[in-house]
Structure 1
Amino acid sequence: MAYRSKVALVYLFGFALDLLNMFAASIAYPDIARELHASVTQLAWISNAYMLGLTLIIPLSVWLAARLGERRLILGSLLLFGIASGLVAQAGSIESLIGWRLLQGLGGGLLLPVGQALAYRQFPVAQRAHLTGVVLLVALMVPALSPAAGGLIVEALSWRWIFYLNLPLALLAFALGLLWLKADQPSTERPTLDLRGLLLAVSALSLLLVAVSLASASATRHLAGGVLLLGALTLWLYLRDGWHKPDAVLDLQLIKSPSLRLAMLIYLFVPGIFTGTNMIAVLYLHQLGVGAAQTGALMLAWAAASGVAIMLGKRSFNRIGPKPLLIAGMLLQCLGIVLLMRIEQPAAAPLIIAYALMGLGGSLCSVTAQTLAFVGMTPEKMGHSSALWNINRQLGFCLGAALLSSLLGALGGHSFQYCFLAAALLTLLPMIAVLRFDASKVLALLSTPPLQEKST
């Protein structure tokens, strides 16, 4: 097996572990609530704490990778993830469980950007669309299969075994990394830590994620605006402080790259908005009398269409470039949301078509955006770009859900059509940026032979 395939497999294994923990764990919430006497708010923080740890550690990942080496950091993150999983499984109270979930998120947050950077660095520009397609297929399959697997584990054993079973999987990923990943090359450079930038970045991300959590609950929604404003102010201070720093914790100058900037914008407004749309759609369909099983089955139509889009995107990117794929993806998702908005009776066919259109459009944008983000990145900048990408990805999912749930709460529980209309318009918001994007440089990079690329 080629070395780059081994690196990609280690990364994909870790990525699958992360997704498994996000989606399988939610099935155990009723049992956790009963055994640990947890409230609904505390149950929400089982997920929130994991997401918080996952996001907050990302700014530090680039410095740690440069200081310790990528192989050591990947192996260390897998060990941390496995140990934290065991501690979550043994938690005797909801408070300790939430704390160990935060630690588990820290392990995942180190693995994802560093593993992604190492994997993408191994592939020539023209082959990165294929790698992105495989990554997104994993991102599609694990959320689709893990809730069912989690349900079987909870019924056959207990909720604790969802987390205990992470241990052998994490150890297997650790063993593969130990055997397959090349030893880190000794570096004479000892990068300094931008402590002020790190504190500002972590504070800004913490405040934004807490604001999202507050906005999702009606009882605390009135506090979300103030926390969000404070988070935005802290983010502005961080950007002002780190924009021209040569040793910044994150290389913000990379945002000047038109490809990365457009890709991040697309992820915020297409996959991010779908997250919120799907959340309010569940409530809307319940109001129409659609059962939970039928609503869940609609995601099968979404998943099937997403699989088609991922295959289409990875095969077409090198041939026609990103613009036609992004335009088509935004229009298809917008059309799916508009169709959902116009459904007033629980008819199966229109709902299936709406979800299929959203899956086709959203995933076409996802595979194109993730490929575009890294298409022109040099190997030495891959770590910083991967960290920026993963922060943007996490924020996109959180902010999309918070925005539409807050809008629904502000307009009243029966204003679903207005929320769907807002979601459809937001999906099209990046269209001007896409139309103005010059794809000729991307197509030129894609036509560069791999041998010539390595020598430049």
Structure 2
Amino acid sequence: MAYRSKVALVYLLGFALDLLNMFVASIAYPDIALELHASVTELAWISNAYMLGLTLIIPLSVWLAARLGERRLILGSLLLFGLASVLVAEASSIETLIGWRLVQGLSGGLLIPIGQALAFRHFPPEQRSRLTTWVMSVALLVPALSPAAGGLIVQALSWRWVFYLNVPLTLLAFVLGVLWLKADAPATERPTLDARGLLLAASTLGLLLIALSLLSDTASRRLGMLVLMLSAVALWLYLRDGWRKPAPVLDLQLLNSPSLRLAMLVYLLIPGVFIGTSLIAVLYLHQLGFGTAQIGALMLPWALGSAVAIVTGKRCFNRFGPKPLLVVGMLLQSLGIGLLTLIDQPQGSLPIIAYTLMGLGGSLCSSSAQTLAFLDIRPERMGHASALWNINRQLSFCLGAAVLSALLGALGPQSPHAFERCFLVAALLSLLPIFAVLRFDSTTVRALLSPYPPQEKTS
């Protein structure tokens, strides 16, 4: 096996662990609430604490990787993740469980961006669509399978085994990392920590995540707006302090790359809008008389559409470039969301068609954006680019749900046409990046994808 494939496999195992802990914990909420006497708000913080830790540590990951070495940091974060998983499973109170979930998130926030940077650095631009196919396959399979697997584990054993399940997977990734990852090169310099920038970046991200959580609840919306304004102030202070700093904690100058900037815009909106849409669609379909199992089964056509899109993206990205794939993907997702407004009874094929189109469009955009993001990033800047990408990814997961939940709350779920208006807004948001895509000059991208032009024939 080629070394780059070994690096990719270690990263993908870590990525799978991250996704597993995002999606599988919620299936255990009822049993956790019963045993630990947890309120609904406390249950929500089981996920919120994980997401908060995952996001807050990302700005520090680049400095730690330069200071300690990427191999050491990946292996250390795996050990910390496994230990935190055991301590979550052993928690005797909801407060202790939430605290160790935060530690789980902190270790995952070190593992994912560093592993991603290492993997993409070892794949040349013309082969990154293959790596993206692997990444998107994991991103498809884990969320699709983990709730069902978690439900079986909770039913057969207990909620604690949902977290114990992390241990063998973490050990496997750790052993493969020890055997396969090359030793870190000796550091030629010891970078200094931009402590002020780290404080401002962490404050901005922490306040923003808390604001999005508060905005999704009608009762806390005013407080959420206040926290959102504080986040904006912290962001302004960070930009003022670190935009041109020689060694910032986050290198925002990388956003001058048109490819990374466009990819982040697409990924911020398209997956985020789908997550928000699927959240309010559950409420809408339930109101129309759909059963819980019937609603859950709609993720199967979504998964099928996603699988087709991932394969299509791999085959077509190098040939046609990102622009047509992104445009078609946005149109398909927007059309699928729009079809949700036409559903009026729990029969017929319309829901299946809508979810299939959302799967096709969303995954075509996500896979194309993932491949595009790092094409023109120099290897030595890959760590910073990966940190920016993963912060953007985490915000995407929160933003769409917060915006559409807040809109539904403002319209009133019981008011006529409230859900339809939310779906129309979501369909329009899916098309929002299309203007940036159409203006994107893909000349450089096409050159990177074909680094060896055909030689002219000589007579």
**1:348 CA drift (Å):** 3.5
C-alpha distance after superposition, 1:114-168 (max 9, x if no partner): 0000000111100001101110100100111111111111111111111112112
For 1:92-171, list aligned pairs within 5 A. Answer: 92-171=92-171
Structure 1 residue 5 corresponds to structure 2 residue 8:
no
- State the alpha-carbon separation in 1 of the partners of residues 12 and 337 from structure 2: 31
- State the alpha-carbon separation in 2 of the partners of residues 392 and 443 from structure 1: 25
For 1:46-125, list aligned pairs within 5 A. Answer: 46-125=46-125
User: Residue 370 of structure 1 corresponds to which residue in structure 2?
Assistant: 370
User: Residue 410 of structure 1 corresponds to which residue in structure 2?
Assistant: 410
Query: Deviation above 6 Å: which 4+ runs of structure 1?
Result: none
**1:222 CA drift (Å):** 2.2
Structure 1 residue 445 corresponds to structure 2 residue 445:
no
**Matched-pair identity in %:** 75
Q: Which amino acid aligns with 1:421?
A: L
- State the alpha-carbon separation in 2 of the partners of residues 222 and 293 from structure 1: 36
Residue aligned with 2:190, SS: coil
Residue aligned with 1:311, SS: helix
**1:218 CA drift (Å):** 2.3
**1:171 CA drift (Å):** 1.2
- State the alpha-carbon separation in 1 of the partners of residues 168 and 305 from structure 2: 33
Q: Which amino acid aligns with 2:447?
A: A
- State the alpha-carbon separation in 1 of the partners of residues 272 and 141 from structure 2: 19
User: Residue 353 of structure 2 corresponds to which residue in structure 1?
Assistant: 353
User: Residue 237 of structure 1 corresponds to which residue in structure 2?
Assistant: 237
C-alpha distance after superposition, 1:363-385 (max 9, x if no partner): 00000001000111111011000
Unpaired stretches in structure 1, ≥5 consecutive residues: 451-456
User: Residue 209 of structure 2 corresponds to which residue in structure 1?
Assistant: 209
- State the alpha-carbon separation in 1 of the partners of residues 52 and 128 from structure 2: 29
User: Residue 453 of structure 1 corresponds to which residue in structure 2?
Assistant: none
C-alpha distance after superposition, 1:286-323 (max 9, x if no partner): 11011110100001110110000011001100000000
**1:221 CA drift (Å):** 1.9
- Computed over aligned residues only, the root mean square deviation of the Cα atoms, in angstroms, reads 1.0
Q: Which amino acid aligns with 2:259?
A: S
**1:187 CA drift (Å):** 1.0
**1:419 CA drift (Å):** 0.6
- State the alpha-carbon separation in 1 of the partners of residues 286 and 148 from structure 2: 21
Structure 1 residue 430 corresponds to structure 2 residue 414:
no
User: Residue 278 of structure 2 corresponds to which residue in structure 1?
Assistant: 278
- State the alpha-carbon separation in 1 of the partners of residues 58 and 210 from structure 2: 17
- State the alpha-carbon separation in 1 of the partners of residues 325 and 48 from structure 2: 33
**1:269 CA drift (Å):** 1.4
- State the alpha-carbon separation in 2 of the partners of residues 448 and 348 from structure 1: 49
For 1:177-196, list aligned pairs within 5 A. Answer: 177-196=177-196
- State the alpha-carbon separation in 2 of the partners of residues 345 and 167 from structure 1: 44
- State the alpha-carbon separation in 2 of the partners of residues 372 and 258 from structure 1: 10
- State the alpha-carbon separation in 2 of the partners of residues 397 and 367 from structure 1: 16
User: Residue 335 of structure 2 corresponds to which residue in structure 1?
Assistant: 335
Q: Which amino acid aligns with 1:433?
A: A
**1:229 CA drift (Å):** 1.1
**1:449 CA drift (Å):** 3.8
User: Residue 399 of structure 1 corresponds to which residue in structure 2?
Assistant: 399
- State the alpha-carbon separation in 2 of the partners of residues 75 and 324 from structure 1: 40
- State the alpha-carbon separation in 2 of the partners of residues 216 and 393 from structure 1: 19
Residue aligned with 1:220, SS: helix
Q: Which amino acid aligns with 1:438?
A: D
C-alpha distance after superposition, 1:242-296 (max 9, x if no partner): 1101110011100010000000100111111111011000010011011110100
C-alpha distance after superposition, 1:25-70 (max 9, x if no partner): 1111100000000011100000000000000000000000000000
User: Residue 382 of structure 2 corresponds to which residue in structure 1?
Assistant: 382
User: Residue 199 of structure 1 corresponds to which residue in structure 2?
Assistant: 199
- State the alpha-carbon separation in 1 of the partners of residues 346 and 447 from structure 2: 49
C-alpha distance after superposition, 1:156-188 (max 9, x if no partner): 111111111211211111111001000000012
For 1:12-31, list aligned pairs within 5 A. Answer: 12-31=12-31
- State the alpha-carbon separation in 2 of the partners of residues 170 and 348 from structure 1: 43
Structure 1 residues 178, 445: closer, same or farther in 2, change over 3 A? same
- State the alpha-carbon separation in 2 of the partners of residues 254 and 348 from structure 1: 48
**1:11 CA drift (Å):** 0.3
Q: Which amino acid aligns with 1:180?
A: W
- State the alpha-carbon separation in 2 of the partners of residues 238 and 341 from structure 1: 42
Q: Which amino acid aligns with 1:36?
A: L
- State the alpha-carbon separation in 1 of the partners of residues 218 and 42 from structure 2: 15
Residue aligned with 1:219, SS: helix
C-alpha distance after superposition, 1:62-94 (max 9, x if no partner): 000000000000000000100000100010000
Q: Which amino acid aligns with 2:434?
A: M
**1:193 CA drift (Å):** 0.6
Instruction: Point out the more displaced range, 321-330 or 224-233.
Output: 224-233
- State the alpha-carbon separation in 1 of the partners of residues 380 and 166 from structure 2: 32
Instruction: Point out the more displaced range, 17-26 or 34-43.
Output: 17-26
- State the alpha-carbon separation in 2 of the partners of residues 403 and 287 from structure 1: 21
Instruction: Point out the more displaced range, 91-100 or 232-241.
Output: 232-241
Residue aligned with 1:214, SS: helix
Unpaired stretches in structure 2, ≥5 consecutive residues: 454-459
- State the alpha-carbon separation in 2 of the partners of residues 246 and 347 from structure 1: 60
User: Residue 289 of structure 2 corresponds to which residue in structure 1?
Assistant: 289
User: Residue 454 of structure 1 corresponds to which residue in structure 2?
Assistant: none
Structure 1 residue 321 corresponds to structure 2 residue 321:
yes
Instruction: Point out the more displaced range, 49-58 or 412-421.
Output: 412-421
Residue aligned with 1:270, SS: helix
Q: Which amino acid aligns with 1:149?
A: A
**1:399 CA drift (Å):** 0.7
Paired residue total = 450
Q: Which amino acid aligns with 1:435?
A: L
TM-score, length-scaled by structure 2 = 0.97
Q: Which amino acid aligns with 1:426?
A: L
